Amino acid sequence: VCQEIPSAIPYVHDVTDYNAIPDLFGKITQDIGGLDMIIYVAGIQPPVATDEYNTQKDKAMIETNLIGAIAWLNLAAARFERAQQGQIVGISSIAGDRGRVGSPVYNASKASLNTYLEALRNRLSKKGVTVTTIKPGFVDTVLLENAPKTFWVISPDKAAAAIFTAVQKKRQIAYVPARWAMVGLIVRHIPSFVFRRLSF
């Protein structure tokens, strides 16, 4: 990225190092001369068998996918609320729409992220701050190795272009690609007793 965008400034950071976040957030905003948008992209999905209950893997997903997001976005939310402007973008997943058998805690981490972003949106929308939730489907990255029965797979470049458009238009919620929105709508309204039988 830095080669393509010479003005970009890289920072090395582990999002689970929560104690380092306030100082790093302050340094970044000072280095770049302010902040009008933040995009939280970090996420992990280790392989989890359907008969596996591994608390260490689960803990890692919650710490990265959810708590890391909260630690960064809380700081941005407070700053944007004071400024009465700004945009928060969280990269979630369609996996957060329902609890699937494949990776319960990955689903839970993304569902929790969705709810957190919705709460921020409800809190900040009247104060000039936009909160955008991005829900990608299957993107051809290393995470796809742990997602069986994949379809509608798109390249990272196409996903990035769709996300860029959604962010520019200040969408509240955007599925990537857009056709996942209909799938999400249907999946969210399937009764639980039916959803259990689908086993996906």
- Please report whether residue 13 resides in a domain: no
pLDDT digits (tens, 9 = 90+) for 9-18: 999 999 999 9
Structural domain span for residue 156? 18-198
Q: Find all residues with CB under 8 Å of 142, minimum gap 6, and list them.
A: none
Number of compact structural domains in the chain: 1
At 71, which amino acid appears?
A
Q: Residue 90 in contact with residue 43, Cβ under 8 Å? A: no
pLDDT of residue 146: 63
Packing angle, helices 21-31 and 68-83, rounded to 10: 50
- Please report whether residue 4 resides in a domain: no
Of 8-17, 91-100, 180-189, the poorest mean pLDDT is in: 180-189
- Cα-based angle 175, 178, 181 (whole degrees, multiple of 5): 60
Q: What is the pTM of this model?
A: 0.90
pLDDT digits (tens, 9 = 90+) for 117-143: 999 999 999 999 999 999 998 888 877
For residue 127, the 8-state DSSP code is G
